């Protein structure tokens, strides 16, 4: 009894010790200070370095300074009193941004653009009085966002073209391999592995068309002033309309845009964001559908995504080969598809020349859309590059269903050889139902062919069974459709990107 009491006391002490540990708070900041703050998994875990940098503060604020430099340089060329030294100092300090000073200024002024105007002026004192001359905040905020979206699409488009190219090669490789088709997720007429891949390809081609069009349509906001009337610039140039127009054209060209939106309010129309993100959201639907199909095929053990040598499919079930890449594609694609609702609402409620309730959510939505689309593309490229096909499993599943699908061919053969159609139909119907009961009620294999072989009525048919059951005779024009589709649709669409594809599109390693 004393021993039992001692044991209970020890257990009670341990319970208290564990409870205290669970209730405790961290003793202080961790060794890695960055770990003490939330970081978006999009950048900390998944994103490519190039896309993460594209939407970084370092890139954004550098673009601001370049926009201010371009504006000042063009204003000087058109006759405003701006010194060469001012431009020189601005050009020398595009990248050495004092973020501590900028943060202190923003805390004091409650205005991020003016905080960075002041910070830039400290770095380039000769230019302090002319930085942002005639401009409104949206000159740099909208200008940088349009630049980042333009450059973001330039990252995305080659990766999309690469994915299409790889999937096209896969489709050609397996254009002749019969596989069981599915409608309503129920066995249907045969198709081929390559033909099924063209269904994914066709959607991706639509995305390439849509995203490329959106990229071509992006313009610069231009130098429009506070409500888009260019009144401030007209004042600077003493009523000279021609110089105001020249200024906008010169700045637009200098910062790398082919044109500016002809009219704006204080901001460019948020319909532009909706236009661009609609294409990314649509791509998200394509990616989700494709990855879902591969997940279904993986569950059937017909096709698998790449699986690393030391990869663990499950912490408990060691045998598992979970389609984690495709699951991640579906997960992130759902996020990508939902972002469009925010952009639609923002575009709808921009009252008159503008309202500031677009600012905070666009800081989140625009980068996340591009980061997510980029991550999904990297995943799909990795998946397509290493898809594993199991022809024997596919063949076995075909043969489980093909006897039923071939019954019409059996009837036609018997009629051509003197049989009565109605009599043959009844014989086949009875045997098919018997075989169906074996499959469904007893869990056995489809034995319809064996039953036919044992039935005297079908004696003439038996020697021709292999011919009549050849899966390649059930796939219609699937191989020819693949060849035609690649030649007429895929190759022309990829032609503008052949040089880029030949040089190799940068692909991020996948965090598995």
pTM of the predicted protein model: 0.87
- Residue 121 is predicted with a pLDDT of 96
DSSP 43-104: IIII--HHHHHHTSHHHHHHHHHHHHHHHHHHHHHTT----HHHHHHHHHTSS---HHHHHH
Check pLDDT > 50 for residue 505. Answer: yes
Kindly report the number of other CB atoms within 10 A of residue 392's CB atom. 9
**What are the Cα distances from residue 480, in Å, to 89, 177, 178, 382?**
64, 12, 13, 28
Give the tens place of pLDDT for each residue, 167-220: 999 999 999 999 999 999 998 889 999 999 999 999 999 999 999 999 999 999
Contact criterion met (CB below 8 Å) for 54 and 48: no
Residue 184 falls in the annotated catalytic set: yes
What is the average pLDDT across 490-498? 95
In the three-class reduction of DSSP (H, G, I as helix; E, B as strand; rest coil), residue 164 is classed as helix
Give the tens place of pLDDT for each residue, 229-243: 999 999 999 999 999
How far apart are the C-alpha atoms of 396 and 403, rounded to whole Å? Answer: 12
Give the tens place of pLDDT for each residue, 29-65: 766 666 677 788 888 888 899 999 999 999 999 999 9
- Residue 218 is predicted with a pLDDT of 97
For helices 241-254 and 57-77, what crossing angle results, to 10°? 140
- Residue 23 is predicted with a pLDDT of 86
What domains sit in the chain, N to C, each tagged with a CATH number?
53-127 (1.10.275.10), 136-218+268-311+318-391+481-512 (1.20.200.10), 222-260 (no CATH), 407-468 (1.10.40)
Kindly report the number of other CB atoms within 10 A of residue 95's CB atom. 10
265: left (phi over 0), alpha (psi -120 to 50) or beta: beta
Identified catalytic residue from 30, 258, 314, 472: 314
Check pLDDT > 70 for residue 284. Answer: yes
Query: What average pLDDT does the chain have?
Result: 90
Give the tens place of pLDDT for each residue, 395-454: 999 988 888 888 888 888 999 999 899 999 999 899 989 988 988 888 888 888 899 999
Residue 137 falls in the annotated catalytic set: no
How far apart are the C-alpha atoms of 267 and 289, rounded to whole Å? Answer: 36
């Amino acid at each position: 009894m004393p021993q039992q009491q001692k044991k209970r006391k020890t257990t009670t002490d341990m319970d208290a010790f564990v409870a205290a540990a669970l209730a405790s708070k961290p003793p202080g900041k961790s060794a890695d200070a960055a770990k003490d703050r939330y970081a978006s998994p999009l950048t900390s875990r998944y994103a490519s370095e190039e896309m993460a940098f594209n939407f970084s503060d370092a890139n954004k604020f550098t673009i601001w300074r370049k926009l201010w430099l371009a504006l000042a340089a063009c204003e000087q060329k058109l006759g405003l009193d701006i010194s060469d030294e001012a431009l020189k100092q601005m050009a020398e300090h595009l990248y050495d941004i004092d973020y501590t000073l900028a943060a202190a200024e923003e805390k004091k002024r409650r205005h991020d653009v003016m905080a960075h105007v002041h910070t830039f002026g400290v770095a380039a004192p000769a230019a302090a009085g002319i930085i942002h001359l005639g401009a409104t905040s949206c000159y740099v905020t909208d200008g940088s966002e349009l630049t980042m979206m333009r450059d973001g699409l330039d990252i995305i488009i080659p990766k999309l073209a690469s994915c299409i190219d790889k999937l096209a090669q896969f489709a050609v490789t397996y254009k002749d391999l019969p596989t069981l088709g599915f409608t309503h997720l129920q066995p249907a007429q045969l198709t081929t592995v390559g033909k099924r891949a063209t269904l994914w390809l066709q959607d991706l081609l639509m995305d390439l068309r849509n995203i490329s069009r959106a990229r071509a349509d992006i313009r610069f906001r231009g130098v429009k002033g506070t409500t888009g009337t260019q009144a401030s610039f007209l004042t600077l140039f003493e009523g000279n309309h021609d110089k105001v127009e020249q200024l906008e054209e010169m700045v637009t060209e200098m910062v790398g845009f082919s044109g500016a939106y002809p009219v704006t309010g204080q901001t460019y129309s948020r319909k532009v964001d909706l236009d661009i993100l609609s294409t990314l959201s649509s791509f998200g639907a394509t990616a989700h559908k494709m990855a879902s199909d591969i997940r279904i095929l993986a569950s059937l053990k017909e096709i698998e995504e790449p699986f690393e040598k030391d990869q663990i499919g499950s912490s408990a079930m060691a045998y598992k080969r979970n389609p984690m890449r495709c699951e991640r594609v579906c997960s992130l694609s759902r996020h990508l598809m939902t972002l469009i609702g925010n952009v639609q609402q923002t575009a709808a409620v921009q009252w008159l020349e503008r309202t500031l309730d677009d600012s905070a959510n666009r800081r989140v939505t625009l980068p996340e859309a591009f980061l997510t689309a980029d991550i999904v593309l990297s995943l799909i490229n990795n998946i397509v590059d290493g898809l594993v096909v199991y022809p024997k499993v596919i063949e076995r599943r075909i043969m489980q269903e093909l006897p039923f699908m071939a019954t019409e061919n059996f009837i036609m053969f018997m009629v051509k050889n003197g049989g009565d159609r109605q009599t043959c139909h009844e014989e086949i119907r009875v045997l098919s139902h018997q075989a169906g009961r074996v499959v469904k009620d007893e869990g056995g294999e489809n034995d319809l062919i064996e039953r036919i072989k044992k039935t005297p009525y079908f004696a003439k048919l038996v020697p021709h069974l292999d011919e009549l059951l050849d899966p390649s005779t059930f796939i219609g024009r699937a191989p020819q459709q693949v060849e035609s589709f690649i030649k007429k649709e895929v190759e022309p669409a990829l032609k503008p990107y052949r040089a880029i594809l030949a040089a190799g599109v940068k692909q991020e390693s996948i965090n598995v």
